[in-house]
């Protein structure tokens, strides 16, 4: 069993709470209030900034050119996603100036600083374990929602299509493969530590959805 699959199975309850959250279900059926989605979009822009910072930190702490190249690919993907995100926000009436003025929610601060702390105190494996629920979970959500019968005139279909897109799915698979490679020679105790970090980040992903649903700061 791969490390990624092991971590997901060991966090089964938290993973389900994240990937099947009410926010996700209401994206699927189009019933999510628009103000909740706009709030989520603004906070996700701030999240992406810190996600990029975490990947850059991983490059600094990498032990080989191969690790740096893998993180560079992930960082380039995030930078591209951020440009797409700004364009997507504009379709929802949000200018980039609005995104830059938005204060970070407690959920965003807690999640992103946790990821950065894992990277600062630990190894690249710790950083990957904390980052993985985001990209791998969004890929799973995208696949699951795309497999459903589309809801007519769903205002969130473009969001679903973005994460179901083969390019994003491929990026998620590459990230999982990199995490598996970093975990290949780890001891049982070390894998348990990495699994716990993965689980905490998964819990914070669910909290991020709830923040969007509540429109909270």
The C-alpha atoms of residue 50 and residue 16 are separated, in whole angstroms, by: 25
DSSP state of 149: P
Helix axes 65-91 and 166-183, enclosed angle (nearest 10): 150
State if pTM tops 0.85: yes
Dig out the tokens for 209 from the structure.
């959805």
Dig out the tokens for 115 from the structure.
């990821």
Per-residue pLDDT, averaged over 111-119, amounts to 97
Tens of pLDDT, residues 162-203: 999 999 999 899 999 999 999 999 999 999 999 999 999 999
The predicted structure's pLDDT at residue 158: 93
pLDDT surpassing 90 at residue 125: yes
Domain limits at 60? 3-214
Closest CA to 111 of 37, 210, 213: 210
- Lowest mean per-residue pLDDT among 64-68, 115-119, 134-138: 64-68
The C-alpha atoms of residue 158 and residue 160 are separated, in whole angstroms, by: 5
Q: Are 216 and 148 in contact (CB under 8 A)?
A: no
Per-residue pLDDT, averaged over 154-158, amounts to 95
The C-alpha atoms of residue 114 and residue 202 are separated, in whole angstroms, by: 12
- Residue 107 vs residues 65, 171, 216: alpha-carbon distances, Å: 34, 25, 9
The predicted structure's pLDDT at residue 23: 98
Q: Are 154 and 30 in contact (CB under 8 A)?
A: yes
> Residue 104 sits in a domain of what CATH number?
1.20.910.10
The predicted structure's pLDDT at residue 93: 93
The predicted structure's pLDDT at residue 55: 93
The predicted structure's pLDDT at residue 35: 97
- Residue 5 vs residues 132, 151, 173, 205: alpha-carbon distances, Å: 11, 31, 12, 18
Tokens 């440009």 map to which residue? 83
Tens of pLDDT, residues 2-60: 999 999 999 999 999 999 999 999 999 999 999 999 999 999 999 999 999 999 999 99
Confidence at 67, pLDDT banded by 50, 70, 90: confident
Average model confidence (pLDDT) for the chain?
Answer: 94
Tens of pLDDT, residues 76-96: 888 888 888 998 899 999 999
Number of structural domains (the chain) is 1
Q: Are 132 and 175 in contact (CB under 8 A)?
A: yes
Confidence at 62, pLDDT banded by 50, 70, 90: confident
């Amino acid at each position: 069993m791969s490390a990624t699959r092991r971590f997901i199975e060991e966090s089964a309850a938290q993973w389900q709470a994240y990937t099947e959250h009410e926010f996700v279900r209401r994206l699927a059926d189009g019933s999510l209030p628009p103000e909740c989605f706009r709030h989520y979009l603004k906070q996700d822009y701030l999240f992406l900034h810190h996600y990029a910072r975490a990947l850059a930190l991983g490059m600094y702490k990498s032990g080989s050119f191969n690790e740096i190249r893998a993180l560079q690919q992930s960082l380039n993907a995030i930078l591209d996603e951020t440009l797409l995100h700004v364009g997507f926000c504009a379709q929802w009436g949000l200018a980039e100036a609005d995104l830059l003025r938005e204060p970070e929610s407690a959920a965003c601060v807690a999640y992103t600083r946790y990821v950065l702390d894992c990277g600062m105190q630990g190894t690249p494996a710790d950083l990957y374990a904390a980052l993985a629920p985001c990209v791998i979970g969004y890929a799973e959500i995208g696949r699951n929602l795309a497999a459903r019968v589309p809801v007519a005139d769903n205002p969130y279909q473009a969001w679903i299509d973005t994460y179901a897109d083969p390019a994003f799915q491929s990026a998620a698979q590459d990230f999982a493969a990199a995490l598996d490679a970093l975990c290949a020679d780890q001891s049982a105790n070390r894998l348990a530590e990495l699994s716990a970090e993965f689980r905490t980040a998964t819990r914070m992903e669910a909290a991020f959805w709830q923040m969007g649903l509540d429109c909270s700061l």
